[in-house]
């Protein structure tokens, strides 16, 4: 039976709900898959033509890559069949991965970072680029091989980040996660064997350190709401912060992208930037004065509510990312002044709006409902997040012991 090759979209999605592109090699009803390393939304896949639809922002580049990989697989297949017609699908895959044996940590990480950038995952791209550079600077060479990244290497690397880079324990964990991601990728590519994997039971285990999430109380938020001695920029910053808080702590990157056309039928409808999930929430009554404040500056029904992205090139993800970062830094600077004027002794940032919603929600709202409001994929994530703000039971237990 002849061997068949085909570009396919695999059925198992990753944590972000995207599906991996792969080359399928079939022989004698047995199939083996070579993963390309790119993930796309199912809606961008043309099942009939086995190509990425034009609706994907990088469809041309991805289809060129897929054609190139398919040609590489077919070439290797023909060469092997010339030697032995009874070649298996797994043998073809093995031959193709042998070429990857000499790939270094740097070359694998370069491919990984290029994928993040080409898929416009810029927040993760910039963060992970710094983490990859930490590894290269620690090793003092770009010729680091995965076989050298053992338990001893990772222990020394953690000490380097802690003492030389002065990173927090959470930041150190984030660096280890990137190394783990790249190591798993290298294993799939055939660069390094599974037996060399330095993570897991009895080896390097990644544990997230407990972090304190501080949220404001109802009285503290009321003090912010009632402030009158604010500058124009501080008033604008307060509006953005309250807009986020009133809508269950919408992230600032999403807040700035909200358009007037996203508001209809008394609800707000938007797509989360972090995981592309669609969100629909009822507009709280408290949002009315904020919306009225900006309505006079509306240029058209599709205009942004807040001004920060009005002058951005919305089709240029780098420009949007840069302007969002600049705006966030500006907001956090003014929030510090707002906190001083409100007499708060807690640090006030844009992200504290999300923590404050969780703090006030406490255990008053069922966790299933909070999961919907936060748009968490897993209820476990919601429970872990909310555990930072639920202390009623422990407080009561403590009181029962000491109040004698």
- State pLDDT tens for residues 345-380: 999 999 888 888 877 776 565 556 655 565 556 656
pLDDT the model gives residue 149: 95
Instruction: Check residue 75 and give its pLDDT.
Output: 83
What's the pLDDT at 152?
93
**Model pLDDT, residue 129:** 96
Task: Report the 10 Å Cβ neighbour count for 135.
Answer: 22
Confidence band of 33 (pLDDT split at 50, 70, 90): confident
- pLDDT on residue 150: 94
Share of the chain above pLDDT 90, in %: 45
Among 80-84, 94-98, 126-130, 159-163, name the one with the lowest average pLDDT.
94-98
Which pLDDT does position 243 carry in this prediction? 94
**What is the model's pLDDT at position 357?**
80
At residue 2, the pLDDT reads 64
CA angle 312, 315, 319 (to 5 degrees): 45
Look at 113-127, 155-169, 171-185, 221-235 and tell me which has the smallest mean pLDDT. 113-127
Residue 382 has pLDDT above 60, yes or no: no
pLDDT of residue 51: 93
Residue 389: pLDDT band with limits 50, 70, 90: very low
Reply yes or no on whether the pLDDT at 73 is more than 70.
yes
Using an 8 Å Cβ cutoff, are 24 and 46 in contact?
no
| Average pLDDT, integer, range 142-151 | 91
Confirm if 218 and 360 have CB atoms less than 8 A apart: yes
Task: Quote the CA–CA distance of 190 and 92 in Å, as a whole number.
Answer: 13
Query: Tens digit of pLDDT for each residue in 304-344?
Result: 999 999 988 888 888 999 999 999 999 999 999 999 999 99
Residue 283 has pLDDT above 60, yes or no: yes
CB atoms within 10 A of CB 171: 17
Please give the pLDDT value at position 356.
85
Give the chain's mean pLDDT: 84
pLDDT at 367: 54
Phi, psi of 118, rounded to the nearest 5 degrees: -70, -25
Average pLDDT over residues 191-197: 89
Q: Can you name the CATH fold of 218-361?
A: hpI Integrase; Chain A (1.10.443)
The band of 258, judged by pLDDT with boundaries at 50, 70 and 90, is very high
Query: What per-residue string of b and e applies to 361-377 under the rule 16 or more CB within 10 Å gives b?
Result: beeeeebeebbebbbbe
Please report the pLDDT score of residue 86 as a whole number. 59
Identify which has the larger pLDDT, 374 or 40. 40
Tell me the mean pLDDT in the region 387-401.
52
The CATH architecture assigned to 105-196 reads Orthogonal Bundle (1.10)
Q: pLDDT at residue 401 above 60? A: no
Averaged pLDDT, 128-154: 93
- Residues 188 and 291: their CA atoms lie apart, in Å, by 51
Q: Give Cβ neighbours of residue 380 (< 8 Å, ≥ 6 apart).
A: none
CA distance 160 to 140: 12
Task: Spell out the residues 6+ positions from residue 347 whose beta carbon is closer than 8 angstroms to its own.
Answer: 214, 339
CA distance 375 to 384: 14
Residue boundaries of the structural domains of the chain: 4-98, 105-196, 218-361
SS3 string of the chain?
A: CCCEEEEEECCCCCCCCCEEEEEEEEECCEEEEEEEEEEECHHHEECCCCEECCCCCCHHHHHHHHHHHHHHHHHHHHHHHHHCCCCCHHHHHHHHHHCCCCCCHHHHHHHHHHHHHHCCCHHHHHHHHHHHHHHHHHHCCCCCCHHHCCHHHHHHHHHHHHHCCCCCHHHHHHHHHHHHHHHHHHHHHCCCCHHHCCECCCCECCCCCCCCCCCCCHHHHHHHHCCCCCCHHHHHHHHHHHHHHHCCCCCHHHHCCCEHHHEECCEEEEECCCCCCEEEEECCHHHHHHHHHHHCCCCCCCCECCHHHCCCCCCCHHHHHHHHHHHHHHHHHHHHHHHHHCCCCCCCCCCHHHHHHHHHHCCCCCHHHHHHHHCCCCHHHHHHHHCCCCCHHHHHHHHHHHCC
Residue 89 has pLDDT above 90, yes or no: no
Report the pLDDT value the prediction gives residue 286, as an integer from 0 to 100: 92
Question: pLDDT band for position 61 (50/70/90)?
Answer: confident
């Amino acid at each position: 039976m002849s061997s068949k090759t085909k570009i396919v979209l695999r059925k198992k999605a990753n944590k972000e709900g995207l599906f991996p592109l792969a080359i399928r090699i079939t022989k004698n009803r047995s199939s083996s898959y070579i993963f390309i390393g790119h993930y796309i939304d199912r809606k961008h896949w043309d099942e009939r033509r086995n190509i990425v639809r034009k609706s994907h922002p990088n469809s041309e580049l991805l289809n060129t890559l897929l054609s190139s990989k398919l040609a590489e697989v077919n070439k290797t297949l023909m060469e092997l069949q010339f030697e032995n017609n009874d070649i298996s699908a797994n043998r073809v895959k093995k031959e193709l991965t042998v070429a990857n044996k000499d790939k270094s940590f740097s070359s694998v990480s370069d491919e990984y970072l290029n994928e993040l950038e080409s898929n416009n995952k810029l927040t993760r791209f910039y963060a992970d680029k710094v983490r990859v550079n930490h590894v290269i600077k620690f090793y003092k060479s770009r010729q680091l091989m995965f076989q050298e990244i053992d338990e001893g290497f990772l222990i020394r690397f953690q000490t380097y980040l802690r003492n030389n880079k002065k990173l927090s324990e959470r930041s150190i964990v984030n660096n280890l996660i990137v190394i783990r991601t790249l190591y798993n990728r290298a294993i799939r590519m055939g660069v390094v064997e599974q037996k060399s994997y330095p993570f897991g039971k009895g080896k390097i285990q990644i544990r997230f350190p407990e972090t304190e999430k501080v949220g404001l109380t109802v009285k503290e938020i009321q003090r912010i709401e009632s402030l009158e001695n604010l500058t124009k920029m501080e008033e604008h910053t307060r509006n953005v912060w309250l807009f986020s808080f009133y809508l269950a702590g919408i992230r600032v990157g999403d807040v700035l992208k909200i358009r007037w056309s996203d508001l209809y039928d008394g609800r707000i409808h938007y797509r989360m930037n972090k995981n592309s999930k669609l969100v629909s929430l009822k507009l709280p009554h408290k949002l009315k004065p904020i919306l009225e404040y900006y309505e006079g500056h509306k240029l058209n029904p599709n205009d942004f509510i807040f001004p920060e992205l009005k002058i951005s090139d919305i089709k240029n993800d780098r420009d949007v990312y840069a302007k969002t970062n600049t705006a966030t830094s500006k907001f956090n600077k003014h929030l510090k002044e707002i906190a001083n004027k409100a007499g708060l002794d807690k640090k006030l940032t844009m992200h504290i709006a999300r923590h404050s919603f969780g703090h006030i929600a406490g255990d008053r709202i069922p966790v299933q409902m909070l999961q919907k409001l936060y748009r968490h994929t897993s209820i476990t994530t919601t429970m872990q997040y909310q555990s930072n703000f639920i202390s009623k039971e422990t407080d009561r237990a403590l009181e029962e012991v000491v109040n004698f």
